Amino acid sequence: MAVSGIVVTLSDDRALAEAALQSLSTDPRLTLGERFDRRLAAVAETPSVRDDRDLWDDLNAIPGVVRVDVTFVALDEPASLDAPVSLNQTGPSR
């Protein structure tokens, strides 16, 4: 699963921005947050990295969306959940 925090910048054309906002609000992959002028905070959840990339393409294709900025990404890869995590990448200290 991929979970991303994003900021969507909407068009300064009010009609285009409202149409984009309507489209974004019906996308089940998104949870919309606060809107600040032309910027809209959102959380995107997709089942895979590939689906995440498809979402970016879809968002950028919406008329009235000027750009999409990513603020964070968390990937939950099932294979990595069982693997031990080592913070020391250089080996044991002496």
Rounded average pLDDT over 76-91: 49
- Domain range holding 34? 2-76
8 pLDDT band (50/70/90 cuts)? very high
Residue 86, domain member (yes or no): no
pLDDT tens string 23-70: 999 999 999 999 999 999 999 999 988 898 899 999 999 999 999 999
Chain CA centroid to CA 76, Å: 14
What CATH number corresponds to the domain at position 47?
A: 3.30.70.920
Residue 78: per-residue pLDDT? 56
With a cut of 80, say whether residue 14 has pLDDT above it: yes
| Domains contained in the chain, number | 1
The pTM assigned to this predicted structure is 0.77
Q: Are 44 and 91 in contact (CB under 8 A)?
A: no
Residue 89, domain member (yes or no): no
| Closest C-alpha among 29, 2, 30, 13 to residue 65 | 13
| Closest C-alpha among 10, 12, 7 to residue 43 | 7
Partner residues linked to 7 by β-bridges: 41, 69
Residue 56, domain member (yes or no): yes
**Tokens at 83, concatenated:** 């693997």
